[in-house]
Structure 1
Amino acid sequence: MKLYGLRIFVTDMAAAKEFYGDTLGLPLTWELPELGAFGAKLENAELIIEEAHGEEERGYVGRFLGASLQVDDIIDTYERLCDEGVDFPTPPEKQAWGGVLAHFHDPFGNVLTLLGEAH
C-alpha cells in the first residue's frame, strides 16, 4: 500500500485555493468545480480539498488532521508562513524522538503539522 491522498474539508473553495496554492506554495493539479474539489500535489501524495456539503461533512471542518508535511528547513518554512499570516499556536518544538514539529491552522480551523529535522 501507499498513501494516495488526504482529504481536507473546507467551507470556501476560493479561500482554500489561495491558502493551499499561494500561501503554502503547493501546485494545484486538478479541479472538479461541479463536485467542489481540487488537488494540491505533495511530493509523494496529494491533498484533496473538498467543499463540505451537508451537516455531516460540515462536521469534518476544523479538526486536527494528524497530517505531517515534511519540509527541508522547518525554521525557514515556519518564518515564511508566519510572514504570510498563517496561524501557528506555538513555534516549532523539538520532540523527544528527535524531530521538530509546528502545528498550524488553515483558514477553516483544520490543523496540519510541519515536520522537520532538529538542527
Structure 2
Amino acid sequence: MPRATKGAARKRSRKRLLNKTEGYWGGRGNLYRKAMETYIRAMVFSFRDRKARKRKFRELWISRINAAVRERGMSYSRFISGLVKANVDLNRKMLAEMAVNDKPAFDKLVEQVKAAAG
C-alpha cells in the first residue's frame, strides 16, 4: 500500500478554499474544482475592478468640477489651466469636494483662477 502524502495539508488547503467560496451558487461553493475556477475568476475581477474604481472616481470628480465651474462661467479645461498658472496645488478629489460642500471657498478659487488666467 502506498504511503499517503500531503493528507492533512491538502485537506486543510481544500477546506480553506471552500470556506472562501461559501455562499456561491450551487456547486461553485462546495465542489472543489468548480470552487477553484470560480474563486480564481472572482479574484481576477476584484483586481481589475480595484483599478476601475479609481478611474470611475476620477471621472466623477471631473464631472462635478466641470458642472460647478460652468455655473460660474468657465470651462473645465480653462479652470485647470488657470489653477496651474495660479500655482494652486489641489487635486481633483479636493476640488470636487469643495465644489459640492464649500461653495463660497470654491467661488473664491474660481475668482483667483480668473485673475491668474488674465
Q: Structure 2 length as normaliser, TM-score?
A: 0.23
State the structure with more CA Rg: 2
**Bigger share in helix:** 2
**Bigger share in strand:** 1
Q: Structure 1 length as normaliser, TM-score?
A: 0.23
